[in-house]
Chains A and B, each alone.
Chain A
Amino acid sequence: MSKIGLIIEREYKTRVLKKSFLLLTFLSPILFAALIAVPLWLSRLDADTTKEIVVIDRSGLYADALPSDDIYHFTFVDADLNQARSSYGSLTGILLITGRLDQDGTAMVYSENQIDMETKSHIERLLGDYVEQQKINAYNIPDLQKILEDTQTRVSVSTIRWNEKGEEQKGSSELALIIGMVTAMIIYMFIVMYGGQVMSGVVQEKTSRIVEVIVSSVKPFQLMMGKIVGIALVGLTQVFLWVILTLILSVAATTLMGIEPSAAVEAQAIPQSTMDQGMSEIYSMLAGFNFVEMLIYFICYFLGGYLLYASLFAAVGSAVENETDTQQFSLPLTIPIIFAIYAAIYSAQNPDGPLAFWCSLIPFTSPVVMMVRLPFGVPFWQIALSIGILVLSFVLTTWMAGKIYRTGILMYGKKVTWAELWKWLKY
């Protein structure tokens, strides 16, 4: 096996077999699955209980307006509030209708616990519809009901974009937003978490004084690259396991609780407007999405962004004496990453604006910002330019980092300054 292979193997094995890695890898999906399944399960639990509502209707007009069903049981009583309260035990609430609702009457719900939104809106809808119906009937115009229904029109704007072949594609800006933000967040998290691991790994090698022993067998650049690649593989393993385990667990959990997996999808963050278009619409939009293309770009930016930052993190790690000193030097690296995630959020609102455009070309922000823009469609020349700049930049930063690293790892007992780092570049 080549020497760099041995370094990668060691980095990978020692990290993957660590207890903390195993714990994080296997517990997080359980957490993710729980985040999906538990609210669903809870809403199910809630749905099974019935709501007992006592109605005190002073007007005597609304007995037909409030039919009981499986969930809502309306009981009409002729009593005052206090009597009703004392004579009925486990109540969801008491609905008091003081008079004609289209005149000066009001409807109030009294309850021990705050009444839930669902019950409130259920009552509002029933009473509202009933009063509306009454009014329509009061006009005494034949077929008025039909006419009104006829005039009701709903306009929903579908977004369609032309793909490269000039074909029309049904798009969804909400879906594009979700896909863009999720992929951008993954890249951001990956850079921060694993870039940090590269840095602390280098610091540990330096403080444990193993580094000079190793550079007598391999070139410092190989040691640095071996570490960067090894940790990247650890990260990919973790992300891969998370995706697989989360899928398995959430499917298992939802079927176990008798919830249709599609219900779980519906309950996710998909906005109301797309919900209304129905699941088939969503599927057709998903199908309209070029996932292969998206995946290829994701991998490009994922690796490019990581390599760009990881080598710089390695350089920082090599320059300092211990982990507490890393703060000062890692700040110039964390600022652009954090800036990138903010730029991504604003770019999502205006994917073709100047901020989005420039930030998706600048290599320090492009891996995150471009991911947000891609689902909205980006001209190919911009993608090519952005990836080109990113590749050139990480070659350059890796080369620079290698030079700083080579000198830094063998410097002991010296407080490093920026001027000093600049000098190391020229050794």
Chain B
Amino acid sequence: MDILQVENVVKQYAGHRALDDVSLTVPQGTIYGLLGPNGAGKTTLIRIINGITAPDSGQVLLKGQRITMEEVLRIGYLPEERGLYKKMKVGEQAMFLARLKGLSTADAKKTLKYWFEKFGIQDWWNKKVEELSKGMAQKVQFITTILHKPELLILDEPFSGFDPVNAELIKNEILNLKAEGTTIVLSTHNMASVEELCDNISLVNKSHIVLQGNVEEIRRTHTTHTFRLLTDGHLPAELQGMAITSVKEGRLNEYLVRKAGELSNNQLLKILMDECNVVGFEEMLPTMNEIFINTVSQNA
């Protein structure tokens, strides 16, 4: 079932069109990546989903129904431009944000205690926000975004400001949330995490969606037909013309080969097997990073 549908959304700002006929569908319980270069319109789209900005035309549907204000305010939203009240204590502030999301004082306290313990930050409770480092503040913000157990979670650049250890921690939390059934819309520039986390993506460039679909499918359709071969012999003569690189790996030879013509994967393997012992055979699917750069630069 689709939890979120964005249909033909158009947003015009004075002088430029931020979003032009953008549609996307997020299946329930999946992680949806929203990618795109800076200024492509991602944040505008996220704000429209969150009801912060109204679209000029088009609509946002939640479970097939036009989204209501009540539902919008239930969405867990971690904006890209995020901060905390500097003069407030961490605990007080977290309580305030939790209660704004509709939790009772008792529930807020209980849930916060759980998360603070889980993240090992109990002793920050009485610290002032201005005493925290940027990464520490981000952790608090992440907690306050998810603690009311939203069905739909929108994270705009959730990894920015984190060191690798904490980025990993957040990544695991995101996967945990998915396992619990939360649907997550993720906007990020970190392409490695897209491959790891996202089921589906939309690539927004210059107000349009230029690429959309399942991550695996996208990688497969964008294949450059490049294979990594590991053999104990030499490349068969028929394949010599296709080789890109060859490296001697101890007793073995490693070749990068770009498949040409109508040759199927199995035919390629067969040619190899006839000539030498195949130790490794792997199609080198393009990374999301390569796809991103190619798509955006083609579009330029």
B98 CB to closest chain A CB, in angstroms?
Answer: 10
Contact A410 B101 (CB under 8 A): no
Contact B81 A412 (CB under 8 A): yes
B33 CB to closest chain A CB, in angstroms?
Answer: 20
Chain B, residue nearest A406 (CB):
B52
A208/B84 contact (C-beta < 8 A), A1-B99, A3-B100, A6-B100 known: yes
Contact B73 A218 (CB under 8 A): yes
Contact B79 A216 (CB under 8 A): yes
Out of A1, A14, A215, name the residue touching B87 (CB < 8 Å).
A14
A216/B85 contact (C-beta < 8 A), A3-B100, A6-B100 known: no
CA distance A219 to B69 in the complex (A): 9
A6/B81 contact (C-beta < 8 A), A213-B141, A215-B52, A216-B50 known: no
CA distance A369 to B64 in the complex (A): 57
Chain B, residue nearest A412 (CB):
B81
Residue-by-residue, is B61-101 near A (CB-CB < 8 Å gives 1, otherwise 0)?
Answer: 00000000100010101110111111110000000110111
Chain A, residue nearest B144 (CB):
A213
Chain A, residue nearest B53 (CB):
A410
Q: List which A142-179 residues lie within 8 A (CB) of chain B.
A: none
CA distance A209 to B161 in the complex (A): 15
Report the 10 A-B pairs with minimum CB-CB distance, sorted nearest first: A209-B83, A216-B77, A212-B79, A217-B100, A208-B83, A209-B81, A210-B83, A217-B101, A10-B96, A6-B99
Residue-by-residue, is A1-20 near B (CB-CB < 8 Å gives 1, otherwise 0)?
Answer: 10100110010001000000
CA distance A219 to B52 in the complex (A): 8
Chain B, residue nearest A210 (CB):
B83
Question: Does chain A have a CB within 8 A of B1?
Answer: no
CA distance A208 to B79 in the complex (A): 13
Question: Does chain B have a CB within 8 A of A295?
Answer: no
Residue-by-residue, is B39-64 near A (CB-CB < 8 Å gives 1, otherwise 0)?
Answer: 00000000100101100000000000
Contact B85 A208 (CB under 8 A): yes
CA distance A1 to B84 in the complex (A): 22
Range, interface on chain A: 20 to 34
Contact B82 A213 (CB under 8 A): yes
Question: Does chain B have a CB within 8 A of A135?
Answer: no
Most buried by B among A7, A14, A212, A216: A216
Q: List which A1-49 residues lie within 8 A (CB) of chain B.
A: 1, 3, 6-7, 10, 14
Q: Which residues of B contact A205 (CB under 8 A)?
A: 85
CA distance A212 to B156 in the complex (A): 12
CA distance A214 to B145 in the complex (A): 11
Question: Does chain A have a CB within 8 A of B106?
Answer: no
Question: Does chain B have a CB within 8 A of A125?
Answer: no
B96 CB to closest chain A CB, in angstroms?
Answer: 5
A208/B97 contact (C-beta < 8 A), A217-B73, A410-B52 known: no
Residue-by-residue, is B19-45 near A (CB-CB < 8 Å gives 1, otherwise 0)?
Answer: 000000000000000000000000000
CA distance A208 to B97 in the complex (A): 15
25 A-B residue pairs with CB within 8 Å: A1-B99, A6-B100, A10-B96, A14-B87, A14-B88, A204-B86, A208-B84, A209-B82, A210-B82, A210-B83, A210-B85, A212-B82, A213-B77, A213-B78, A213-B79, A213-B82, A213-B141, A214-B100, A216-B50, A216-B52, A216-B75, A217-B73, A217-B97, A410-B81, A423-B14
Contact A210 B84 (CB under 8 A): yes
Q: Which residues of B contact A208 (CB under 8 A)?
A: 83-86
CA distance A214 to B77 in the complex (A): 10
Residue-by-residue, is A203-231 near B (CB-CB < 8 Å gives 1, otherwise 0)?
Answer: 01100111011111111100000000000
Q: Which residues of A contact B75 (CB under 8 A)?
A: 216
CA distance A215 to B73 in the complex (A): 9
